[in-house]
Structure 1
Amino acid sequence: MKPTLDYSLYLVTGRDLLPPGKDYFESLEESILGGVTVVQIREKSADTGEFLTIARQSKAICQKHGVPIIINDRIDIALAIGADGVHLGQTDMPISIARSLLPADTIIGLSVNTPEQVRKAAEDGVDYVGVGPVWGTKTKNVTSPLLGPRGVAKMLEGLEGTDVKSVAIAGIKSTNTLHCLHGSVTKNGRALDGVAVVSDIVGSTNPRAAARKIADTVKMFKAYEPPAAHKYTVTSPWWENPHTVDMLKELAGSVFESVQIFSPLVHQITNTVVTNQSANATIALGASPIMATSTEEMEDLGKVIGGLLVNFGTIKDLDCMLAAGKQANLNRNPIVFDPVGVGATAYRRAAADELLSTWQASVIKGNAGELAALANSTEVKSRGVDSVGAGFSDPARFIRDLARAERCVIVLTGKIDYVSDGHTVVALSNGHPYLAGITGSGCMVGTSVATFCAGVSMSAKSNSGAENGRLTRGDMFLAAIGGVLAVTIASEFAGVRADVKGTGTFLPALIDELGKLAPETLRDHAKIEIVHVS
């Protein structure tokens, strides 16, 4: 009978990565004591005799602590030491032949990089797959395309309905483990069983602490459930409550109160067309803007901001966007991503993919053309920053599915705005026609959403402590609703003012009305409908 493996923290060895003076066997045992659950012995340059000696001594250490041992590539070594399993590459021995040579209870793993390889691996009866490379790595020459967490999620779709386990590999370290795990979940909920780590543990002078850090993250991811009693979170579907709309209005107003109480610092990397009006809108809502674009500032800023907006309408400073997002994730700050004009050029599409593969967005906001391009949908076309055509035939279903795929809240802006957390979809019908006639009105919505997200973030950190304040998609869902409502409700007040004669006088009036807006106004004037998606 095959053993049941815990793949949570899968260590792949690499003696060439050991720090000066660190003994390999000492490092291995310390790693296991730190939480490693599976060990793969990889020796690409050792001859057979040396590999055998290392494998035998490694097995003795693994057996001592009850940790299974896997041999990379070499079936003869696995047979010689009685290893628990082997791991094969795409160009190694076929699974069927390997299975015929090995004892029936041997675990067999396979490296995969494409959906076709995943499906074939499942058909061939492997026990687990190593999906990657997730990110670039210095531990081996990477020739296969980098997947990123979103790409890993696509690979996992091929394992749905099977018992095949999965680990992600390449470039994984303590600073990106949570993003890898969180971003690699399919829209149907299939998640990774663990992460495979090499240099972050083997190359550490304290491998026990390095392993513990990653092991704790994996454990937290697998065990974490949104707290049912969180101030701004409702964990059951909204439609199960007969007073859902009233509840949403009340909670959106409460989020606005948190903005005014905590006056969060909102970091905005935005396009040059709207920088000034975005800053003014942030101030009007009761928060504080900082429009910093120097990569060197990102580490310090990440420690003090309440939230981050990344808007690449006039796309530049890509390195800054990457660094800011990494720091936001590290410091548990929400990220609002506004992929302005993402469908206009191949460069924008590639940049958006790189950003979303590097950090986890909390909210993605865009018009129909932008979100269609992000989802690789042909239903809606874009021209520059504008959408072309009638829009989605079923916008509610589209954004619900996109929210599930991206593991975040999605905001679809238009004549009617839609917001979804992947479970619930709401339609928001506030707004004035003048909004469509001013440059950057959609960008202002992104700023408002980021400000509301920052307010929730500061509230969570204040209530739970800066290190332990955690946000859920429920929090971001409410913040996104509130952020959209703030701009659209303010626009209704601005549009009917006597001093507003057209779009030229409308913009300053809109800023005025954002400054006058109060939580109770948001609650009283919000037009919210819950959209049921079958």
Structure 2
Amino acid sequence: MPKADIDYSLYLVTGRELLPEGKDYYESLEESLQGGVTVVQVREKDIDTGEFVEIARRTKEITDKYNVPLLINDRIDVYLAVRCAGIHIGQSDMPLAQARALAGDDAVIGISVGNIDEAQAAIAGHADYVGVGAVWPTGSKDVTKKVKLGPDGVGRVLDVLAESKTPAVAIGGIHAPNVPFLLHGSISPNARNSLDGIAVISAVVASKTPREAAANLRNIVDSFKRVRRSAPAAPAFVLESSPVRSTEALVSGVAALMEVIQREVPLVHQITNNVVINDSANATLAIGASPIMATNPRDVADLSPAIGALLVNFGTITDKEGMLVAGRQANVNRKPLVYDPVAVGATSFRRETSKELLAHWQPTVIKGNAAEIGALAQLTEVESRGVDSVGKGFADPANVVRTLARKRAAIVVLTGEEDYLSDGDVVLRTSNGHALLGKITGSGCMTGTLVASFCAAARLHHLAGGKGSVFENDSQLVQGDMLLGALAGVLVFNCAAERAAERDDVRGPGTFRAALIDELANMPAADLVKRAKVEIL
């Protein structure tokens, strides 16, 4: 029979040991196919040949029902017994050439690759596709001794595969919240190539609702492919129905959100550093929102459905488990998630923690100073000294935020003497604020607090029938104009700082801090409109 033509979009690797209690393997498989799985690989390591053949045979009956190709992991004898689409082999399994000789020219043969040399060998051996990984740590199989590629490493492998047009799927630690970052962050360095799909095990097999889990993953991949087809260099996400706006319209939108936040009083969950908890809570109350500073993993999971937005500021990194759970729940509940990676480039512990968080959930907004944004963008123009930036800044900050927004599939806010915001397409620059902000602790953290609060307001405005656009970051549909929400947070904080510095009773940093909270509470929207300095670059 002719070689199968495979859509690799959602590649399911079976793992019966991961099934939830009471869930039948064949039932789970059929539901996952109904959800949108496009290819299945049967993987069994610890059973005898007869049982493997029977499982593969029954699996093929189900996949045939949905016209989905079936592959067998490693075992050519099982493949020959059931005559399915092909096999998948690892680097420690049978050599590719020998597998081809035994399986024949009609078999689809894929091979796992973890570096450039292995990818080049796969091309030379005419592999039909490659599985690239492990991307991140995973509990589904033992990859503890393997290098974790991350999206950047996957991208380097994809660059090698580009000319041969060998299809590629990524595998390892993949689940819905980190898929957008993987897909967009792994586009090859020369933008010549991108993933054809993702391979998952526990993200579907371990789910009690595999149909829904598969459908969610398939929607993410399909969204990515639509963007890539429309324009290879397009933003990592789209702002659907978002009109071209003037600066006047943007500032007017900020003023409208100031009214929304007063009317709706959104609950803003903040996991923030110990230095600024009190200031952040007071700033939230001052603008009209309601703060909650929970960190316990059980507590944050229960809170998530009720909140308007989540802020994760890991300045003192004492609540990592709570951050992981809260972020995942924010994604599940489609709530804006603002990530403030304080001093992320200062230590290896901070860099590793940031990678772990971003592998578990997808931020809606990333806010940081030049050193923090530079660390996430892997740039060396600006270094970190504790929580401060050291250096002259970026030569082209607009391009930095636009590029990082596309790669991370998030709004990016770069704070400094001038602030830059981007959704991966539009770049905004604001120049409000006052020098006294640099003389008090936590001014950047309080900015993150306001960004989260106004993103919550933007979502509520949309749900109430306002004219906000829909921000689609592929994994979760966060309703409301998140770029406008981020802009509102920056402008309101900096304009309040200007008003505070102008007061007669302000004598220095101490009196300025108190006056800042006052002005956050008292600033009229009309005064913000008058003061706001916004440019569309």
TM-score per shorter chain, which class?
0.7 to 0.9
Residue 458 of structure 1: CA displacement? 2.4
Establish whether residue 496 from structure 1 lines up as the match of residue 502 from structure 2.
yes
Return the offset for 1:46: 3.3
* Secondary structure of the structure 2 residue equivalent to 1:303: helix
1:304-453 equivalences in 2 (<5 Å): 304-453=306-455
Shift of 1:326: 1.2
Q: 2:525 aligns with which of 507, 519, 530?
A: 519
Q: What does the per-residue CA deviation read over 1:80-126, in whole Å, with 9 as the maximum and x for residues that have no partner?
A: 43321211112233434434544434322222334554565456543
**Following TM superposition, by how much is the alpha carbon of 1:4 offset from its aligned partner in structure 2, in angstroms?**
2.6
Note if 1:9 corresponds to 2:15: no
Q: Relative to structure 1, is the Cα distance of residues 517 and 113 closer, same or farther in structure 2, using a 3 angstrom cutoff?
A: farther
* Equivalent position of 2:68 in the other structure: 67
Distance 1:151 1:249, change over 3 A: farther
Equivalent residue, structure 2, for 1:230: none
Gapped regions of structure 1 (runs ≥ 5): 227-232
Instruction: State the alpha-carbon separation in 1 of the partners of residues 261 and 193 from structure 2.
Output: 35
- Seen in structure 2, the aligned counterparts of structure 1 residues 273 and 94 have a Cα distance that, compared at 3 Å, is same
Corresponding letter in the other structure for 1:348:
R
- In the alignment, does 2:199 pair up with 1:196? yes
Quickly say closer, same or farther: Cα 1:77–1:418, change in 2 above 3 A. Answer: same
Q: Which residue of 2 aligns with 1:45?
A: 46
Change (3 A) 1:21 1:326: closer
Q: Counterpart amino acid of 1:180?
A: V
Work out whether residues 178 and 361 of structure 2, in 8 Å CA contact, stay in contact via their aligned partners in 1: yes
In the superposition, relative to structure 1, how do residues 125 and 477 fare at CA in structure 2: closer, same or farther (>3 Å)?
farther
8 Å CA contact 2:499, 2:519 repeated in 1: yes
Matched with 2:112 is 111
CA contact (8 A) 2:31 2:210 kept: no
Cα distance in 2 for partners of 1:426, 1:390 equals: 20
Give the Å deviation of 1:146: 4.4
Structure-2 residue corresponding to 1:95: 96
1: CA distance, partners of 2:163 / 2:284: 47
The aligned runs of 1:125-140 (5 Å cut-off) are 125-140=126-141
Residue 366 of structure 2 aligns to a residue whose secondary structure is strand
Q: By how many angstroms is 1:415 displaced?
A: 0.8
Give the paired residue count: 513
1:426 to 1:65, Cα distance in 2 relative to 1, 3 A: closer
1:261 maps to: 263
For 1:72 and 1:295, how far apart are their aligned partners in 2?
37
The farther-off stretch of 453-462 and 66-75 is 453-462
> Aligned letter for 1:437?
K
Over residues 429-484 of structure 1, what are the superposed CA-to-partner deviations in whole Å (9 max), with x where a residue is unaligned? 111111111111111111111111111122334449xxx99755982221111111
Counterpart CA distance in 1 for 2:115 and 2:86 is 23
Report if the CA contact (8 A) 1:408-1:473 is conserved: no
> In structure 2, what is the Cα distance between the partners aligned to 1:189 and 1:472?
30
Question: Contact 1:178–1:217 (CA<8 Å) still a contact in 2?
Answer: no
Distance 2:433 2:24 in 1: 66
- The answer to whether the 8 Å contact 2:373/2:414 transfers is yes
Structure 2 match to 1:505: 511
- Please report how far the alpha carbon of residue 142 of structure 1 lies from its aligned counterpart in structure 2 after TM superposition: 2.3
Residue 481 of structure 2 aligns to a residue whose secondary structure is: helix
Task: State the alpha-carbon separation in 1 of the partners of residues 258 and 193 from structure 2.
Answer: 35
d(CA) in 1 for partners of 2:242 and 2:448? 25
The equivalent position to 2:484 in structure 1, one of 478, 482, 488, is 478
Q: TM-score, normalising length from structure 1?
A: 0.85
Question: What code does the residue aligned with 1:500 have?
Answer: V
SS in 2 for 1:184: helix
User: Partners in 2 of 1:151 and 1:453 — Cα distance?
Assistant: 32
Q: Is the 8 A contact 2:159 2:192 kept in 1?
A: no
Q: CA RMSD in A?
A: 3.2
**Identity across matched positions, percent:** 51
| Contact kept? 1:490, 1:514, Cα under 8 Å | yes
Give the superposition deviation at 1:396: 1.4
Distance 2:22 2:286 in 1: 58
What one-letter code is carried by the residue in structure 1 that aligns with 2:76?
I
Q: Could you tell me whether the CA contact under 8 Å between 1:267 and 1:291 is conserved in 2?
A: yes
Q: Is the 8 A contact 1:368 1:392 kept in 2?
A: yes
- What secondary structure, in the 3-state scheme, does the structure 2 residue paired with 1:430 have? coil
Provide the C-alpha distance between the structure 1 equivalents of 2:156 and 2:485, rounded to a whole number of angstroms: 28
Q: CA deviation at 1:130?
A: 2.6
Q: Distance in 2 between matches of 1:474 and 1:522?
A: 21
CA 14–410 in structure 1, closer or farther in 2 if over 3 Å, else same: closer
Q: Which stretch of structure 1 is more off in the superposition, 342-351 or 454-463?
A: 454-463
Asked if 1 retains the 8 angstrom alpha-carbon contact of 2:204 and 2:214, the reply is no
- Residues of 2 paired with 1:20 and 1:314: CA distance? 38
- SS of the residue corresponding to residue 500 of structure 2 reads helix
**Deviation at residue 289 of structure 1 after TM alignment:** 0.7
- Mapped partners of 1:294, 1:57: distance in 2: 45
2-structure distance, mates of 1:277, 1:57: 61
One-letter amino acid matched to 1:320: G
Question: Is residue 123–residue 161 contact of structure 2 (8 Å, CA) maintained in 1?
Answer: yes
Q: Which secondary structure state, in structure 1, belongs to the residue aligned with residue 328 of structure 2?
A: helix
> What's the CA shift for 1:412?
1.1
- Cα separation, 2, equivalents of 1:198 and 1:37: 14
Q: Using the alignment, how far apart are the partners of 1:181 and 1:192 within structure 2? A: 12
Contact 2:12/2:40 (8 A) holds in 1: yes
480 and 157 in structure 1: CA distance in 2 versus 1, 3 angstrom threshold? farther
Distance 1:250 1:119 in 2: 55
Residue 229 of structure 1 is matched in structure 2 by none
Q: Deviations over 1:408-429 (max 9, x none)?
A: 1111111111111121222111
| Equivalent residue, structure 2, for 1:184 | 183
Q: Does 1:218 align with 2:224?
A: no
Question: How far did 1:31 drift?
Answer: 4.4
Find the aligned partners of 2:28 and 2:411 in 1 and give their Cα distance: 42
1:268/1:98 Cα in 2 relative to 1: closer, same or farther (>3 Å)?
same
Selected match of 2:286 from 263, 284, 287? 284
Q: What's the CA shift for 1:405?
A: 1.7
Q: After the TM superposition, which of the residue ranges 37-46 and 123-132 deviates more from structure 2?
A: 123-132
Q: Which moved more, 1:66-75 or 1:250-259?
A: 250-259
Pairs within 5 Å for 1:214-253: 214-219=214-219, 222-223=222-223, 235=240, 241=244, 244-253=246-255
| 8 Å Cα contact 1:109-1:128 kept in structure 2 | yes
What secondary structure is seen at the aligned counterpart in 2 of 1:44? Answer: coil
Mapped partners of 1:320, 1:58: distance in 2: 39
Which TM-score applies when normalising by structure 2?
Answer: 0.85
Query: Could you tell me whether the CA contact under 8 Å between 1:278 and 1:444 is conserved in 2?
Result: yes
For residues 63-91 of structure 1, what are the alpha-carbon distances to aligned partners after superposition, in whole Å with 9 as ceiling and x for unaligned?
34322111111234324433212111122
Measure, in 2, the Cα distance between the counterparts of 1:155 and 1:475: 36
- What is the identity, as a one-letter code, of the residue corresponding to 1:366? G
Structure 2 contact 471–480 (Cα < 8 Å) conserved: no
- Amino acid corresponding to residue 528 of structure 1 in structure 2: V
